[in-house]
Chain A
Amino acid sequence: MKKIEIEFTINGKKRKIFVKPNDLLINIIRNDLYLTGSKYGCGIGECGACTVLLNGEPVLSCLTLALTIDGKEITTIEGLAKGDELHPMQKAFLKNGAVQCGFCTPGMILTATVLLRENSNATEDEIRDYMRGNLCRCTGYVQIVKAIEECASEGKTS
Protein backbone atom coordinates (compact mmCIF):
# COMPACT_ATOMS: atom_id res chain seq x y z
CA MET A 1 0.00 0.00 0.00
CA LYS A 2 1.14 3.51 -0.78
CA LYS A 3 2.99 5.23 2.06
CA ILE A 4 2.38 8.83 2.95
CA GLU A 5 4.88 11.23 4.48
CA ILE A 6 4.01 12.84 7.82
CA GLU A 7 5.91 15.37 9.89
CA PHE A 8 5.53 15.76 13.64
CA THR A 9 7.41 16.55 16.82
CA ILE A 10 8.15 13.76 19.26
CA ASN A 11 9.74 14.52 22.64
CA GLY A 12 10.86 17.89 21.30
CA LYS A 13 12.46 16.53 18.12
CA LYS A 14 11.07 17.06 14.62
CA ARG A 15 10.66 13.85 12.64
CA LYS A 16 9.55 13.01 9.10
CA ILE A 17 8.52 9.46 8.30
CA PHE A 18 6.47 7.50 5.78
CA VAL A 19 3.45 5.59 7.09
CA LYS A 20 0.67 3.41 5.68
CA PRO A 21 -2.99 4.44 6.18
CA ASN A 22 -3.56 1.52 8.55
CA ASP A 23 -0.40 2.02 10.67
CA LEU A 24 -1.21 2.58 14.32
CA LEU A 25 0.65 5.24 16.26
CA ILE A 26 1.81 2.73 18.91
CA ASN A 27 3.53 0.58 16.25
CA ILE A 28 5.23 3.56 14.63
CA ILE A 29 6.51 4.79 18.00
CA ARG A 30 7.86 1.38 19.00
CA ASN A 31 8.99 -0.17 15.72
CA ASP A 32 10.01 2.79 13.56
CA LEU A 33 11.20 5.28 16.16
CA TYR A 34 12.49 2.63 18.61
CA LEU A 35 10.84 4.33 21.58
CA THR A 36 9.82 1.18 23.38
CA GLY A 37 8.70 2.81 26.62
CA SER A 38 5.11 2.97 25.37
CA LYS A 39 3.59 -0.49 25.65
CA TYR A 40 1.21 -2.40 23.43
CA GLY A 41 -1.32 -3.93 25.82
CA CYS A 42 -4.87 -4.83 24.85
CA GLY A 43 -4.90 -3.08 21.46
CA ILE A 44 -8.55 -2.08 21.84
CA GLY A 45 -8.40 0.91 24.16
CA GLU A 46 -9.21 -0.85 27.41
CA CYS A 47 -5.93 -0.85 29.36
CA GLY A 48 -4.08 2.46 28.91
CA ALA A 49 -0.59 0.89 28.56
CA CYS A 50 -0.11 2.68 25.21
CA THR A 51 -0.95 6.15 26.58
CA VAL A 52 1.00 9.03 25.01
CA LEU A 53 0.42 12.78 25.11
CA LEU A 54 -0.89 14.27 21.87
CA ASN A 55 -0.59 18.07 21.97
CA GLY A 56 -0.43 17.65 25.76
CA GLU A 57 -3.57 15.52 26.17
CA PRO A 58 -3.43 11.82 27.05
CA VAL A 59 -4.64 9.57 24.23
CA LEU A 60 -4.49 5.87 23.45
CA SER A 61 -1.88 5.32 20.74
CA CYS A 62 -3.36 1.90 19.88
CA LEU A 63 -6.55 3.68 18.74
CA THR A 64 -4.76 6.47 16.90
CA LEU A 65 -3.89 6.21 13.22
CA ALA A 66 -0.31 7.35 12.64
CA LEU A 67 -1.47 9.51 9.73
CA THR A 68 -3.52 11.69 12.05
CA ILE A 69 -0.53 13.00 14.01
CA ASP A 70 0.77 14.99 11.03
CA GLY A 71 1.77 18.44 12.30
CA LYS A 72 1.18 17.54 15.93
CA GLU A 73 3.29 17.11 19.02
CA ILE A 74 3.77 13.79 20.83
CA THR A 75 5.29 13.18 24.25
CA THR A 76 6.15 9.64 25.30
CA ILE A 77 7.57 8.48 28.62
CA GLU A 78 11.08 8.95 27.16
CA GLY A 79 10.37 12.67 26.83
CA LEU A 80 9.57 13.43 30.49
CA ALA A 81 13.01 13.45 32.09
CA LYS A 82 15.24 16.49 31.62
CA GLY A 83 18.59 14.94 30.74
CA ASP A 84 19.55 12.73 33.70
CA GLU A 85 17.03 14.43 35.98
CA LEU A 86 13.88 12.34 36.24
CA HIS A 87 10.46 13.98 36.23
CA PRO A 88 9.03 14.43 39.78
CA MET A 89 6.31 11.90 38.98
CA GLN A 90 8.91 9.33 37.93
CA LYS A 91 10.81 9.95 41.17
CA ALA A 92 7.64 9.61 43.22
CA PHE A 93 6.82 6.27 41.52
CA LEU A 94 10.33 4.96 42.31
CA LYS A 95 10.27 6.20 45.90
CA ASN A 96 6.86 4.69 46.64
CA GLY A 97 7.49 1.32 45.01
CA ALA A 98 4.76 2.05 42.49
CA VAL A 99 6.51 -0.02 39.81
CA GLN A 100 6.11 -3.79 39.88
CA CYS A 101 6.36 -5.45 36.46
CA GLY A 102 6.53 -1.99 34.90
CA PHE A 103 4.23 -2.62 31.93
CA CYS A 104 1.57 -0.10 32.95
CA THR A 105 4.05 2.41 34.39
CA PRO A 106 4.72 4.63 31.33
CA GLY A 107 0.98 5.10 30.74
CA MET A 108 0.28 5.60 34.44
CA ILE A 109 2.96 8.29 34.77
CA LEU A 110 1.88 10.20 31.66
CA THR A 111 -1.80 10.19 32.67
CA ALA A 112 -0.85 11.21 36.22
CA THR A 113 1.14 14.24 35.01
CA VAL A 114 -1.92 15.49 33.12
CA LEU A 115 -4.14 14.88 36.15
CA LEU A 116 -1.93 17.10 38.32
CA ARG A 117 -1.69 19.73 35.60
CA GLU A 118 -5.50 19.97 35.61
CA ASN A 119 -5.99 19.53 39.33
CA SER A 120 -2.83 20.08 41.36
CA ASN A 121 -4.54 19.32 44.70
CA ALA A 122 -6.23 16.08 43.61
CA THR A 123 -7.62 13.99 46.46
CA GLU A 124 -7.34 10.20 46.63
CA ASP A 125 -10.86 9.81 45.18
CA GLU A 126 -10.13 12.23 42.35
CA ILE A 127 -6.88 10.41 41.57
CA ARG A 128 -8.60 7.02 41.46
CA ASP A 129 -11.36 8.42 39.24
CA TYR A 130 -8.98 10.07 36.78
CA MET A 131 -6.63 7.07 36.61
CA ARG A 132 -9.46 4.62 35.99
CA GLY A 133 -8.51 3.99 32.35
CA ASN A 134 -4.99 2.83 33.23
CA LEU A 135 -4.93 -0.74 34.46
CA CYS A 136 -2.22 -2.36 36.59
CA ARG A 137 -2.48 -6.14 36.42
CA CYS A 138 0.01 -6.52 39.28
CA THR A 139 -2.74 -4.61 41.11
CA GLY A 140 -0.24 -2.24 42.69
CA TYR A 141 -2.79 0.56 42.85
CA VAL A 142 -2.18 1.53 46.48
CA GLN A 143 1.43 2.51 45.81
CA ILE A 144 0.56 4.18 42.51
CA VAL A 145 -2.09 6.37 44.15
CA LYS A 146 0.30 7.12 47.01
CA ALA A 147 3.00 8.24 44.57
CA ILE A 148 0.59 10.59 42.78
CA GLU A 149 -0.74 11.94 46.10
CA GLU A 150 2.80 12.63 47.24
CA CYS A 151 3.57 14.49 44.04
CA ALA A 152 0.38 16.53 44.48
CA SER A 153 1.10 17.42 48.11
CA GLU A 154 4.63 18.54 47.26
CA GLY A 155 3.31 20.66 44.40
CA LYS A 156 5.71 19.04 41.96
CA THR A 157 3.60 18.87 38.89
CA SER A 158 6.12 19.39 36.13
Chain B
Amino acid sequence: MNQFKYISPKTKEEALEILQEKKSDACIVAGCSNVLPNIRNKKINPKLLVDIVNIEQLKGIYRKEDKIFLGPLTTINELIYSEVIFKEYNVLTQAAEQFADPLVRNTATIGGNLVTASPAADMAVPLLTLGAVIKIESIRQKREVKLKEFFLGPGKTVLQDDEMIVGIEFEQSDINKNGYFVKLGKRKAMAIAIVSLALNLEIKRNKIIQIRIALGSVAPIPIRLTVVEEFLKNKEINNKLVEEAVSKVGEEVNPISDIRASEEYRRYISGILFKRAFNKLT
Protein backbone atom coordinates (compact mmCIF):
# COMPACT_ATOMS: atom_id res chain seq x y z
CA MET B 1 0.00 0.00 0.00
CA ASN B 2 1.15 3.55 -0.72
CA GLN B 3 2.81 5.45 2.06
CA PHE B 4 1.14 8.27 3.92
CA LYS B 5 1.52 10.18 7.13
CA TYR B 6 -1.13 9.91 9.80
CA ILE B 7 -2.46 12.37 12.33
CA SER B 8 -5.33 12.05 14.76
CA PRO B 9 -6.48 15.45 16.06
CA LYS B 10 -8.52 15.55 19.27
CA THR B 11 -10.57 18.67 18.50
CA LYS B 12 -12.50 20.05 15.55
CA GLU B 13 -10.45 23.25 15.59
CA GLU B 14 -7.20 21.29 15.35
CA ALA B 15 -8.57 19.28 12.42
CA LEU B 16 -9.69 22.42 10.57
CA GLU B 17 -6.28 23.99 11.01
CA ILE B 18 -4.61 20.94 9.50
CA LEU B 19 -7.02 21.08 6.53
CA GLN B 20 -6.37 24.80 6.09
CA GLU B 21 -2.65 24.15 5.90
CA LYS B 22 -2.53 20.90 3.90
CA LYS B 23 -5.56 21.40 1.61
CA SER B 24 -5.76 18.66 -1.03
CA ASP B 25 -2.75 16.75 0.34
CA ALA B 26 -4.90 15.75 3.30
CA CYS B 27 -7.64 13.16 3.32
CA ILE B 28 -10.08 12.91 6.20
CA VAL B 29 -10.81 9.39 7.46
CA ALA B 30 -13.08 8.00 10.15
CA GLY B 31 -14.29 4.45 9.57
CA CYS B 32 -11.76 3.89 6.75
CA SER B 33 -14.15 1.53 4.92
CA ASN B 34 -14.06 3.65 1.75
CA VAL B 35 -10.69 5.35 1.96
CA LEU B 36 -8.47 2.31 2.56
CA PRO B 37 -9.84 0.27 -0.38
CA ASN B 38 -9.48 3.40 -2.56
CA ILE B 39 -5.84 3.86 -1.51
CA ARG B 40 -5.14 0.19 -2.20
CA ASN B 41 -6.79 0.34 -5.63
CA LYS B 42 -4.69 3.46 -6.30
CA LYS B 43 -7.81 5.53 -6.92
CA ILE B 44 -6.47 8.12 -4.47
CA ASN B 45 -2.99 8.86 -3.16
CA PRO B 46 -3.21 11.12 -0.11
CA LYS B 47 0.00 12.31 1.55
CA LEU B 48 -1.68 12.70 4.93
CA LEU B 49 -4.58 10.89 6.58
CA VAL B 50 -6.41 13.04 9.11
CA ASP B 51 -8.21 10.56 11.35
CA ILE B 52 -11.08 12.44 12.99
CA VAL B 53 -12.51 9.44 14.83
CA ASN B 54 -11.33 10.70 18.24
CA ILE B 55 -13.04 14.10 18.00
CA GLU B 56 -15.88 13.97 20.55
CA GLN B 57 -17.47 17.19 19.19
CA LEU B 58 -18.35 15.32 15.99
CA LYS B 59 -20.17 12.45 17.71
CA GLY B 60 -23.65 11.89 19.05
CA ILE B 61 -27.33 12.04 18.20
CA TYR B 62 -29.29 14.72 20.07
CA ARG B 63 -32.28 17.01 19.99
CA LYS B 64 -31.86 20.75 19.48
CA GLU B 65 -35.24 22.45 19.96
CA ASP B 66 -37.46 21.12 17.16
CA LYS B 67 -34.56 19.55 15.28
CA ILE B 68 -32.41 16.48 15.54
CA PHE B 69 -28.65 16.75 15.21
CA LEU B 70 -26.38 13.94 14.03
CA GLY B 71 -22.64 14.17 14.51
CA PRO B 72 -20.93 13.14 11.24
CA LEU B 73 -19.06 10.43 13.17
CA THR B 74 -22.32 8.66 14.05
CA THR B 75 -21.77 5.07 12.94
CA ILE B 76 -24.43 3.19 11.02
CA ASN B 77 -24.87 0.85 14.01
CA GLU B 78 -25.44 3.81 16.35
CA LEU B 79 -28.25 4.92 14.04
CA ILE B 80 -29.82 1.45 14.14
CA TYR B 81 -29.82 1.42 17.96
CA SER B 82 -31.00 5.03 18.41
CA GLU B 83 -34.49 5.15 19.90
CA VAL B 84 -35.27 8.68 18.73
CA ILE B 85 -34.29 7.82 15.15
CA PHE B 86 -36.38 4.64 15.30
CA LYS B 87 -39.47 6.45 16.59
CA GLU B 88 -39.38 9.71 14.68
CA TYR B 89 -37.20 9.13 11.62
CA ASN B 90 -37.82 5.46 10.94
CA VAL B 91 -36.87 5.72 7.26
CA LEU B 92 -33.26 6.23 8.42
CA THR B 93 -33.36 3.16 10.68
CA GLN B 94 -34.66 1.08 7.78
CA ALA B 95 -31.86 2.24 5.48
CA ALA B 96 -29.22 1.67 8.19
CA GLU B 97 -30.46 -1.90 8.65
CA GLN B 98 -29.88 -2.58 4.97
CA PHE B 99 -26.45 -0.93 4.92
CA ALA B 100 -23.50 -3.24 4.03
CA ASP B 101 -23.13 -5.73 6.92
CA PRO B 102 -22.88 -5.58 10.74
CA LEU B 103 -19.08 -5.51 10.67
CA VAL B 104 -18.80 -2.52 8.34
CA ARG B 105 -21.65 -0.79 10.20
CA ASN B 106 -19.52 -0.76 13.37
CA THR B 107 -17.02 1.63 11.81
CA ALA B 108 -18.65 3.25 8.75
CA THR B 109 -19.99 6.72 9.54
CA ILE B 110 -22.88 8.74 8.17
CA GLY B 111 -20.58 11.66 7.33
CA GLY B 112 -18.28 9.32 5.42
CA ASN B 113 -21.18 7.91 3.43
CA LEU B 114 -22.17 11.45 2.37
CA VAL B 115 -18.72 12.82 1.44
CA THR B 116 -17.99 9.73 -0.64
CA ALA B 117 -20.88 10.99 -2.80
CA SER B 118 -21.66 7.69 -4.43
CA PRO B 119 -24.79 7.89 -6.64
CA ALA B 120 -25.84 4.77 -4.69
CA ALA B 121 -25.11 6.13 -1.18
CA ASP B 122 -27.57 4.32 1.08
CA MET B 123 -27.78 6.99 3.78
CA ALA B 124 -28.16 9.92 1.37
CA VAL B 125 -31.50 8.70 0.05
CA PRO B 126 -33.44 8.72 3.37
CA LEU B 127 -31.67 11.90 4.46
CA LEU B 128 -33.00 13.56 1.30
CA THR B 129 -36.61 12.70 2.18
CA LEU B 130 -36.01 13.93 5.74
CA GLY B 131 -34.99 17.30 4.29
CA ALA B 132 -31.53 17.15 5.87
CA VAL B 133 -29.25 20.17 6.08
CA ILE B 134 -25.47 19.72 6.16
CA LYS B 135 -23.45 21.94 8.47
CA ILE B 136 -20.03 22.71 7.06
CA GLU B 137 -17.05 24.44 8.66
CA SER B 138 -13.60 25.66 7.75
CA ILE B 139 -11.26 28.19 9.34
CA ARG B 140 -12.64 30.72 6.81
CA GLN B 141 -16.36 30.25 7.32
CA LYS B 142 -19.33 28.29 8.63
CA ARG B 143 -22.16 27.47 6.27
CA GLU B 144 -25.22 25.29 5.82
CA VAL B 145 -26.14 23.49 2.62
CA LYS B 146 -29.32 21.58 1.91
CA LEU B 147 -28.50 17.94 1.19
CA LYS B 148 -30.24 18.16 -2.18
CA GLU B 149 -27.69 20.83 -3.15
CA PHE B 150 -24.71 19.07 -1.54
CA PHE B 151 -23.86 16.56 -4.29
CA LEU B 152 -22.36 17.74 -7.58
CA GLY B 153 -21.60 14.44 -9.31
CA PRO B 154 -20.16 10.97 -8.64
CA GLY B 155 -17.56 11.50 -5.91
CA LYS B 156 -18.05 15.27 -6.01
CA THR B 157 -19.63 17.53 -3.41
CA VAL B 158 -19.71 21.25 -2.64
CA LEU B 159 -17.03 20.72 0.04
CA GLN B 160 -13.84 22.73 -0.53
CA ASP B 161 -10.41 21.28 0.35
CA ASP B 162 -10.32 23.09 3.69
CA GLU B 163 -13.90 22.28 4.73
CA MET B 164 -15.49 19.42 6.58
CA ILE B 165 -18.95 18.30 7.65
CA VAL B 166 -19.55 19.08 11.33
CA GLY B 167 -23.19 18.08 11.59
CA ILE B 168 -26.34 16.85 9.89
CA GLU B 169 -29.69 18.30 10.93
CA PHE B 170 -33.33 17.68 10.11
CA GLU B 171 -36.66 18.78 11.49
CA GLN B 172 -39.04 17.02 13.78
CA SER B 173 -42.30 16.89 11.83
CA ASP B 174 -45.25 14.67 10.93
CA ILE B 175 -43.94 13.91 7.47
CA ASN B 176 -40.57 12.80 8.86
CA LYS B 177 -42.26 10.20 11.07
CA ASN B 178 -43.95 8.40 8.21
CA GLY B 179 -41.28 6.99 5.91
CA TYR B 180 -40.30 3.85 4.03
CA PHE B 181 -37.00 2.78 2.49
CA VAL B 182 -36.60 0.06 -0.10
CA LYS B 183 -33.42 -1.12 -1.77
CA LEU B 184 -33.05 -3.48 -4.66
CA GLY B 185 -29.66 -5.20 -4.80
CA LYS B 186 -28.35 -8.51 -6.08
CA ARG B 187 -28.18 -9.88 -2.57
CA LYS B 188 -28.67 -8.56 0.96
CA ALA B 189 -25.11 -8.18 2.23
CA MET B 190 -22.68 -5.62 0.85
CA ALA B 191 -24.78 -5.12 -2.28
CA ILE B 192 -24.51 -1.79 -4.06
CA ALA B 193 -28.06 -0.71 -4.84
CA ILE B 194 -29.42 -1.26 -8.36
CA VAL B 195 -32.06 1.23 -7.31
CA SER B 196 -32.90 2.49 -3.81
CA LEU B 197 -35.89 4.61 -2.88
CA ALA B 198 -37.07 6.51 0.19
CA LEU B 199 -40.53 7.96 0.59
CA ASN B 200 -41.86 10.25 3.30
CA LEU B 201 -45.53 11.07 3.31
CA GLU B 202 -48.11 13.09 5.22
CA ILE B 203 -51.76 12.27 4.52
CA LYS B 204 -54.97 13.76 5.89
CA ARG B 205 -58.40 12.33 5.00
CA ASN B 206 -57.03 10.43 2.02
CA LYS B 207 -55.34 13.56 0.66
CA ILE B 208 -51.59 13.98 0.21
CA ILE B 209 -50.53 16.99 2.27
CA GLN B 210 -46.77 16.63 1.82
CA ILE B 211 -44.62 14.12 -0.04
CA ARG B 212 -40.89 13.66 -0.52
CA ILE B 213 -39.42 11.02 -2.84
CA ALA B 214 -35.70 10.30 -3.19
CA LEU B 215 -33.82 7.71 -5.22
CA GLY B 216 -30.28 6.36 -5.40
CA SER B 217 -28.44 4.82 -8.39
CA VAL B 218 -30.73 6.45 -10.96
CA ALA B 219 -28.71 9.62 -11.70
CA PRO B 220 -25.14 10.94 -11.23
CA ILE B 221 -26.15 11.87 -7.66
CA PRO B 222 -28.86 10.75 -5.20
CA ILE B 223 -31.91 12.80 -6.22
CA ARG B 224 -35.30 14.11 -5.11
CA LEU B 225 -38.16 13.70 -7.59
CA THR B 226 -39.58 17.21 -7.36
CA VAL B 227 -41.77 16.91 -10.49
CA VAL B 228 -43.57 13.82 -9.16
CA GLU B 229 -43.79 15.41 -5.71
CA GLU B 230 -45.52 18.50 -7.17
CA PHE B 231 -47.84 16.31 -9.22
CA LEU B 232 -48.99 14.36 -6.15
CA LYS B 233 -49.27 17.20 -3.65
CA ASN B 234 -52.83 18.06 -2.50
CA LYS B 235 -54.33 15.20 -4.52
CA GLU B 236 -56.90 12.67 -3.43
CA ILE B 237 -55.38 9.15 -3.32
CA ASN B 238 -56.83 6.61 -5.75
CA ASN B 239 -55.52 3.81 -7.98
CA LYS B 240 -55.42 5.95 -11.12
CA LEU B 241 -53.31 8.59 -9.38
CA VAL B 242 -50.81 5.99 -8.17
CA GLU B 243 -50.50 4.46 -11.66
CA GLU B 244 -49.92 7.91 -13.18
CA ALA B 245 -47.28 8.65 -10.54
CA VAL B 246 -45.54 5.32 -11.25
CA SER B 247 -45.05 6.23 -14.91
CA LYS B 248 -43.96 9.77 -13.99
CA VAL B 249 -41.30 8.33 -11.64
CA GLY B 250 -39.90 6.35 -14.58
CA GLU B 251 -39.77 9.55 -16.64
CA GLU B 252 -38.13 11.78 -14.03
CA VAL B 253 -35.25 9.47 -13.10
CA ASN B 254 -32.10 9.75 -15.21
CA PRO B 255 -30.23 6.43 -14.95
CA ILE B 256 -27.41 4.90 -16.96
CA SER B 257 -26.77 1.31 -18.00
CA ASP B 258 -23.89 -0.22 -16.09
CA ILE B 259 -22.61 -3.51 -14.74
CA ARG B 260 -25.50 -3.78 -12.27
CA ALA B 261 -28.49 -3.04 -14.51
CA SER B 262 -29.66 -1.37 -17.71
CA GLU B 263 -31.17 2.09 -17.98
CA GLU B 264 -34.54 0.67 -19.05
CA TYR B 265 -34.68 -1.73 -16.12
CA ARG B 266 -33.81 1.02 -13.66
CA ARG B 267 -36.59 3.29 -15.03
CA TYR B 268 -39.09 0.46 -14.79
CA ILE B 269 -38.06 -0.71 -11.30
CA SER B 270 -37.99 2.87 -9.94
CA GLY B 271 -41.73 3.07 -10.55
CA ILE B 272 -42.30 -0.34 -9.00
CA LEU B 273 -40.32 0.55 -5.87
CA PHE B 274 -42.29 3.80 -5.59
CA LYS B 275 -45.57 1.88 -5.76
CA ARG B 276 -44.39 -0.59 -3.11
CA ALA B 277 -43.36 2.21 -0.76
CA PHE B 278 -46.53 4.22 -1.42
CA ASN B 279 -48.78 1.23 -0.73
CA LYS B 280 -46.83 0.49 2.44
CA LEU B 281 -47.49 3.99 3.82
CA THR B 282 -51.14 4.39 2.78
Contacts and interface: CB of A to CB of B under 8 A. Distances in A.
B2 interface: yes
Contacts of A134: 101, 103
A20 B1 CA distance: 11
A147 to B, nearest CB: 18
A134 B189 CA distance: 9
B189 A67 contact: no
Nearest to B35: A63
B102 interface: yes
B32 A64 contact: yes
Given A21-B6, A46-B190, A57-B106, A68 B37 contact: no
A158 to B, nearest CB: 19
B5 interface: yes
A21 B49 contact: yes
B102 A111 contact: yes
A55 B53 CA distance: 15
Contact of A68 (B33, B53, B188): B53
A132 interface: yes
Contacts of A113: none
A25 B106 CA distance: 16
Contacts of A48: 101, 103
B103 A60 contact: yes
Chain B CB within 10 A, most for which of A1, A60, A134: A60
Contacts of A58: 102-103, 106
Interface string B1-17: 11111101000000000
A92 B32 CA distance: 33
Interface in B19-57: 31-33, 36-37, 40-41, 49, 51, 53
B40 A43 contact: yes
A132 B37 contact: no
Contacts of B53: 68
Given A60-B103, A133-B190, A24 B1 contact: yes
A111 B32 CA distance: 20
B104 interface: yes
B32 A65 contact: yes
A59 interface: yes
B3 A1 contact: yes
A130 interface: yes
A38 interface: no
B225 interface: no
Contact of B100 (A20, A51, A65, A133): A133
Contacts of B8: 67-68
Nearest to B32: A63
B157 interface: no
Interface in A1-54: 1, 20-22, 24, 43-46, 48, 51
Contacts of A67: 6, 8
B37 A22 contact: no
Given A24-B36, A68-B53, A132-B188, 9 more contacts: A21-B6, A44-B41, A45-B37, A45-B103, A45-B104, A48-B101, A58-B106, A63-B32, A132-B190
11 contacts: A21-B3, A22-B1, A45-B36, A57-B106, A59-B103, A59-B107, A63-B33, A65-B32, A67-B6, A68-B51, A133-B102
Interface of B: 1-6, 8, 31-33, 36-37, 40-41, 49, 51, 53, 100-104, 106-107, 188-190
- Ranked nearest first, the 3 interchain pairs of A and B with the lowest CB-CB distance are A133-B101, A132-B189, A21-B6
